[in-house]
Structure 1
């Protein structure tokens, strides 16, 4: 407000399950690279969402988790989208732990 600007938040208040479906149906693929230790186990690191089936499997196993990690449950990296020329593969390197998160160190490899 002091700067004379205002934030535009086009996704705020949207149904996040519908948003996740739209993202996948638009051709995006993305992988989990960080999980909140209080919400998800580190076994979900590297999990890739590339189909609605992947989304449904994740939510069946984790019904209390927001489909797009809206509350900091997880963070992702995009591997494929309509703006990219091709796709990236996620090559896991190691897992690191911080106070609140498990982090996947990785390398992106163009496919």
Structure 2
């Protein structure tokens, strides 16, 4: 089983950690290689975006789900692990084999 389902099941906890760290840069690593660097919008930025006519309303969890979903589409079968970092601080490291993973 890939680490993606475990990562998606922890979205509320991941958002809490990301907001506590308060670093806007989110790095996604797959098998030890940085495959995406994303600028994570704040709650206020997401709310302001939603106020514009025709724009979608996204929660931080929804934004993270969409962002990670796009990365998963490119890397659906990691050999070893998927890791998330806010700046240089680890947020989650989920391994493919053995224990599903842990939040850093």
Report the structure, 1 or 2, having the larger helix content.
2
TM-score band w.r.t. shorter chain: 0.3 to 0.5
TM-score by length of 1: 0.31
Report the structure, 1 or 2, having the larger strand content.
1
Which fold has the larger relative contact order, with Cα–Cα distance below 8 Å and residues 6 or more apart in sequence? 2
Q: Which has the larger radius of gyration?
A: 1
